[in-house]
Structure 1
Amino acid sequence: MRLIFLGGLGEVGKNIAALEYGNDIIVVDCGIGFPTNEMLGVDMVLPDITYLAERKDKIRAIFITHGHEDHIGSLPYLLPQLDAPIYATRLAIGLISVKLKEHKLLDNAKLNVVEAGSAPIKAGAFAVEFFHIVHSIPDSCGLGIHTPVGTIVHTGDFKFDLTPTDGWRADFGQIAHLGNEGVLALLSECVHVETEGTTPSEQEVKATFDRLFRKAEGRVIIATFGSLIARVQIALDLAYKHGRKVAVLGRSMENNVAMAVEMGYLQVPEDTLIKISEARDLALNKVVVVITGSQGEPSSVLTRIANQENRFINVIPGDTIIVSSTPIPGNEVAIIRVINSLLEQGADVYYSQVARVHVSGHASQEELKMMISLTRPHYIVPIHGERRHMVAYAKMAAEMGIKAENIFICGNGSVLEFTADSATAAEPVRAGALFVDGGSISNIGDVVLRDRQNLSRDGVMTIAVSIDSETGELAGEPDIVSRGFVEPETSDDLLNRVREVVRNTVKLEREAAQVGDWPQLNRRIKEAVSQFLFVQTKRRPMLLPMIVEV
């Protein structure tokens, strides 16, 4: 049995793995990654599923652990390549349906609702059972995957919260039963392994929100993930308690809340949920707005509010803004920039460093240890974490008595081959990243991203040179335009000197009898101007010389 990791290892996000036995493959999760600051113009990152696309006739099913973006977000883009039935709990299916409908894929999708604790689902050589765990979204599950060589337990994202807001605790009995039956390998999330003890309960967030609602003199604006239904429920309950109405803003938030209300996952107190347009007619101290953008995404509602670009909300002194999330690695700078802007506009801003406005949905050390103790696996593979998380988890597991040779720290593209009594690393497979760039999947690579970084840092200069095709002499003055490099009002002298460099380069090439070799002349101009500009400014703008024959 082969276990293939195509995303989610050595990173936070883009979670996807596959299990293969003979002519059968099943896929676990299909999430997006979030672009880093260096990925200019990239909206989201998708896993490269070339390995699966080349074997699509072997794929029997896709199993989804829960409805967060880093576990379902790639489905609208990659499902057409896989064409397999999807199995997930009711809320996850609802969230997936919203996405597929937006992409006009819902009618042909094969969606199947699964209840945690129900009978295993047969998928080729595999049988998969869902067990309930607690996470920051309802209906989250881990998977017990029964294979011909043994049982694999995939934890999904989890924590052992004994007082969840929906009252539905993890199914310790089913997890322990899997352990009693024998677990070949445990695939455990590890992103919170550096935190000692246990992860605080969502009830602590509710207590903080209650205090801030009571203290707020004006509007309360809560930014959180569009799929964090439990946090929306807290906002609804406390708004009702404090005599406020709730509006939601942001396409994903609006769609998800509507779906959750329809499916019964959100309990809305009477006359509490209103439209954003209706909120304008109420006194500010009677309004709560729940919005997207807690990660500082450039096009999100919170960022647009911070940039004074949102048509519904302008920040005024007295607004209480709660950024209810922890930054995903790579997003810290963007979030800090947003928070600073909101503070400058007079809002009272609360975020995780100053108040308990967010708790993680991920297991801390003692909960991770408990999962190991309950399942008693022979092999362990840490997943869903950066390299530092996986290394720390491996050390923790070794301290619990797991043999070092039975702990595998893998990366994207890694393949493990299991028999009933062995596990070995096999030849890795292709597992890179694809980018959603402007609404479509793009194969832009490092060169394009590097060009965008250079443009953002040093700007661009175009140099149009008209050359007499017979003599090789200049047919006119070089036409130079720069953007993002030097201030126009102070650039005349520098640009005149660049023209002189171009004239001298053309003259040298003509004297060297290189007339007609325009690609060569193009390179010479680029090299000469680049060297000149670096000496003068210590910067290297992107240079685009263009030779025009006349």
Structure 2
Amino acid sequence: MSDPIVRFVPLGGLGEIGMNCFALECGERILVVDCGMGFPDDDLGVDVLHPDFSWLYEREDRIEAIFITHGHEDHIGALPYLIRNLKKVPRVFAPPHASALIRERFADHELDSDCIVETPVGSRTELGPFSVESVAVAHSIIDATALAIDTPVGTIFHTGDFDLDSCQPAGHLTDALRLEALGQRGIRVLLSDSTNIDTPVRKGSEQGVIEALERLIMPAKNRVVVGLFSSNVHRLDGIFRIAKKTGRKVSLLGRSLTKHYAAARAVGQLQNSESLLVGPEQITGLPRDKLIVLAGGSQGEAASSLRRLSLDTHQSLRLEEGDMVILSSRVIPGNEREVFTMQNDLLRLGVDVRSRLTDPDVHTSGHAGRSEQAQMIEWLRPDAFIPVHGTLHHMRKHRDLALELGVPDTVVVENGTPVRIPKAGPLSVERPVRHGITRIAIGGEELDAETRRRRQDLGRSGVAVVALAVGEKRNRIEFGPTFSAFGIPTVDGDASAKRAVRREVERVVSEHNSRSALPLEESIRRAVRRMIQDWTGTRPVVEVHLDRVR
């Protein structure tokens, strides 16, 4: 009998930030861990990004289960898109808070939630060749877990997203005693979050953030708006306590905040908050010094509540001079322009804007810094190490840390590159499997590469449309030509340009015959694009609608 082998197959989150998803393959069974989404960095009508799940679809009859570490979107957001394309739905195991959020997502997508199984901290779940223990870790969301996965080759430990914050207002701490015990028992491979490797020591704590917010809110004489990540129940809990202490009511602006509030209450959190909560429609009836508004959109997202407040277009609230906005969040790389534009718009309204730039302790990261990552390695003392969750830069630096701490067998791979894990001996890298990014357009349908390319072309150069009807037997124009242009400088709405294009189309039609090298439609398209390029220097998309009539 051959020695057992487990394959680690990363599908998302390795070589990038977000879209976290990997599989463990043991014999004929597959365990999927996390199923996250990302957000587009362009404006092409893409709503959601998620990993290419082709590898899983091709093996769906072998999927034992899906295990979720916690409820952040980059760990659960792609679940509906995976589940809806599986003929047989596997069980989805998740901590209670994540389970509540997943049920909400499934309801939005009209999916059945019967497959969801709650796995509280300390529980053990037997799944074919896998035995999974949920271990408590601290993070910027409640109910976060690491996974100790016993397999025929030994224990594979996945930290999930974690930190070692010793002050978690609404959740559990990282279970150091259990981690040490697991390390003494033996860890075959450690998979550990690399996101914050560039921070030598993570500063602050969630309790420290609440104290900083209280220092700002307590003396405030007018309305206070707090922009924050909706999933941070620690902060929600702390702000409700501040509201009670300062005699203020709390209102939630934003669909995501409302959903996270409901999910937290469903698992026993925020139980004393209801008497302090007022609906958006009640805001205008309260004195300015009696209200704290929690608003989603700390990254300056176009349709978010906080962005609309900054533009003075929110239907429920207009900020006034002397109000305070506290951005209790970090700026995610890539969002700098949107966030600073929003801050400038708030300043133009006469608002007092506070952020990490003015008050560094109004936010802390939920990801372990280098010192905490080192502590995790020292507690677990793994035989081998694979860094996860981060760009190639992050993962290589995390690998170097593991080597410094005496873990000689370390492997860095990106999405799509499996790692072979034997019971004994070194890890080895295998041939890449199919992987990539799937883009979901607004409306819920997948956006294929060709359609996305065409959208890019339309956005880059504009579009011109020519419509005409030509006789079937001879090239005589029976209707048109009409010409419209969209997004083309100096051509949009220019009457002389329209006349010139019509004359050019009439010329092309009159000269076209059976000996012409190109079809009539293509000849018209090329002639019009060449003319516009001569005028503007751009090469727009040119659509020709040609009808043949008798």
TM-score normalised by length of structure 1: 0.92
For the pair 1:513 / 2:515, whether they are aligned, the reply is yes
The answer for the alignment partner of 2:295 in structure 1 is 291
8 Å Cα contact 1:12/1:329 also seen in 2:
no
**Aligned residue runs from structure 1 range 301-320, under 5 A:** 301-320=305-324
1:432-484 per-residue CA deviation (whole Å, 9 max, x = no partner) reads: 22223223231x23332232233233321101233333232444553110122
Compared with structure 1, are the counterparts of its residues 346 and 496 closer, same or farther at alpha carbon in structure 2 (3 Å cutoff)? Answer: farther
TM-fit CA distance, 1:416: 1.1
Letter matched to residue 188 of structure 1? S
Question: Counterpart of 1:409?
Answer: 412
Aligned residues: 540
Provide the rounded CA distance (Å) in 2 between the counterparts of 1:454 and 1:303.
Answer: 28
Residue 138 (structure 1) aligned with residue 137 (structure 2): no
Partner residue, 1:204: 208
1:400 matched to 2:405: yes
Aligned partner of 2:196 in structure 1 is 192
Cα pair 1:245 1:273 within 8 Å, conserved:
yes
3-state SS in 1 of match to 2:155:
strand
C-alpha distance in structure 1 between counterparts of 2:77 and 2:142, whole Å: 17
Q: Secondary structure at the match of 1:478?
A: strand
Contact 2:135–2:147 at 8 Å: present in 1 too? yes
Contact residue 11 and residue 387 of structure 1 kept, 8 A = yes
Aligned counterparts, 1:240-389, within 5 A: 240-268=244-272, 271-356=275-360, 357-389=362-394
1:102 aligned to which of 108, 115, 136 = 108
Partner residue in 2 for 1:115: 120
**Contact 2:462/2:485, CA 8 A, preserved across alignment:** yes
Alignment match, 1:27: 32
Contact between 2:327 and 2:355, CA under 8 Å: does it hold in 1? yes
8 Å Cα contact 1:434-1:441 kept in structure 2: no
- Residue 124 of structure 1 and its aligned partner are, at CA, apart by 0.4
Q: Judge which range, 264-273 or 175-184, deviates more.
A: 264-273
Match of 2:20 among 2, 15, 20: 15
Q: In structure 1, what is the equivalent of residue 537 of structure 2?
A: 538
The structure-2 alpha-carbon separation of the partners of 1:466 and 1:10, relative to structure 1 and needing over 3 Å to count, comes to same
Paired position in structure 1 for 2:483? 480
* Correspondent of 1:464 among 460, 464, 467: 467
1:4 partner SS: strand
Structure 1 residues 189-232: Cα deviation after superposition (integer angstroms, max 9, x where no partner): 11111112234211232232112213433221222222211121
Q: Select the residue among 78, 81, 84 that pairs with 2:82.
A: 78
Structure 1 residue aligned with 2:179, among 170, 175, 181? 175
Q: Deviations over 1:254-282 (max 9, x none)?
A: 12212312422224357322222222211
Q: Which of residues 399, 412, 431 in structure 1 aligns to 2:435?
A: 431
CA-CA distance at 1:13 after TM superposition = 1.3
User: 1:170, CA displacement in angstroms?
Assistant: 0.8
Are 2:491 and 2:497, in contact at CA under 8 Å, matched by a contact in 1? no
Which consecutive residues of structure 2, in runs of 5 or more, have no partner in the other structure?
1-5
Secondary structure, aligned partner of 1:265: coil
Counterpart code for 2:450: V
Superposed displacement of residue 100, structure 1: 2.1
2:53 maps to which residue? 49
Q: In 2 relative to 1, CA 527–398 (structure 1 residues): closer, same or farther, beyond 3 Å?
A: farther
Deviation of 1:248 (Å): 1.1
Could you give the per-residue CA deviations for residues 291-340 of structure 1, whole angstroms, max 9, x where no partner exists?
A: 22223333322233334443112232222222322233333333333333
State the 1:113 CA deviation. Answer: 2.1
Q: Compare 305-314 and 536-545 and name the one that shifted more.
A: 305-314
CA contact (8 A) 1:63 1:87 kept: yes
* 1:502 aligned onto 2:505: yes
Mark the CA change 1:135 to 1:489 in structure 2 (over 3 Å): closer, same or farther: closer
Counterpart AA for 1:498: V
- 2:7 and 2:481 map into 1 onto residues whose CA distance is 62
Instruction: State the TM-score, normalizing by the size of structure 2.
Output: 0.92
Q: 1 CA distance for matches of 2:300 and 2:48?
A: 14
1:270 and 1:111 mapped to 2: Cα distance? 28
Matches of 2:376 and 2:543, distance apart in 1: 58
Please name the residue that 2:98 is paired with.
Answer: 92
Cα shift readout 1:28-48 (whole Å, capped 9, x = no counterpart)? 1111111112x5111111222
Q: 1:453 to 1:215 in 2, by over 3 A?
A: farther
Closer, same or farther in 2 for the Cα pair 1:139/1:164, shift >3 Å? same
Task: Confirm or deny: 8 A CA contact 2:225 2:295 kept in the other structure.
Answer: yes
Whole-Å separation in 1 of the counterparts to 2:384 and 2:284: 57
- Among 205, 213, 217, the residue aligned to 1:213: 217
Within the candidate set 216, 227, 231, 1:227 is matched to: 231
Q: Match of 2:292, SS?
A: strand
Query: Does the CA contact (< 8 Å) of 2:142 and 2:171 recur in 1?
Result: no
**Structure 1: gaps (5+ residues):** none
Task: Quote the offset at 1:507 in angstroms.
Answer: 4.0
d(CA) in 2 for partners of 1:172, 1:417? 29
| Secondary structure at 2:529 match in 1 | helix
1:488: how far off? 6.9
Aligned equivalents of 1:20 and 1:167: distance in 2?
A: 32
Matched, 1:158 2:162: yes
> 2:297 & 2:222 partners in 1: Cα distance?
21
Deviates more, 1:365-374 or 1:430-439: 430-439
Which amino acid in 2 is paired with 1:478?
P
Q: Contact 1:233–1:267 at 8 Å: present in 2 too?
A: no
**1:449 & 1:363 partners in 2: Cα distance?**
37
SS at match of 1:547: strand
- The worse-fitting range, judged by mean Cα deviation, of 120-129 and 381-390 is 381-390
The separation in 2 between residues aligned to 1:148 and 1:132, in whole angstroms, is: 24
CA-to-partner distance for each residue in 1:159-179, whole Å, 9 max, x for gaps? Answer: 111222236321111111121
1:143 to partner: Cα distance: 0.7
| Matched AA of 2:520 | L
Q: CA deviation at 1:244?
A: 0.8
Task: Go from structure 1 to structure 2 and tell me whether the alpha carbon gap of 1:65 and 1:530 turns closer, same or farther (over 3 Å shift).
Answer: same
Aligned CA distance change for structure 1 residues 508 and 297 (closer, same or farther; 3 Å): same
2:421: which partner in 1?
A: 418
Which residue identity is paired with 1:100? F
- Retained in 1: the 8 A contact 2:411–2:427? no
